[in-house]
Amino acid sequence: MLNHELLISKGFKLNDYSGLKLYELVVDNPKGDFLDLLEFDYDLETMPESVVIQFKEDFSDMIVAVDVDVWDFALEDLEKLLQVL
């Protein structure tokens, strides 16, 4: 079950941007299994240096940002990611 304490324990921060609260996690040097769960197409030689996961406090508008590319993802995907963090 997703909750604030779980997300914080996994490294997420709840940031406040002028009243808009967003959970954010930056994963530096992500591993292949992490990127596989995101279904992100990558080449081992050009693996991104960091991946940003971000969503609203109510768990809506979930996105993954890799370099300049942004993808939406679902709550089920977040639950899978939390297992490998």
Lowest mean pLDDT among 13-22, 26-35, 47-56, 72-81: 26-35
Q: What is the pTM of this model?
A: 0.83
Percent of the chain with pLDDT strictly greater than 90: 39
pLDDT for res 44: 66
Over residues 42-77, the pLDDT tens digits come to: 676 777 788 899 999 998 999 988 877 888 888 888
Question: 63-66 and 20-28: which strand pairing?
Answer: unpaired
Question: Minimal CA–CA distance to 23: which of 38, 39, 11?
Answer: 11
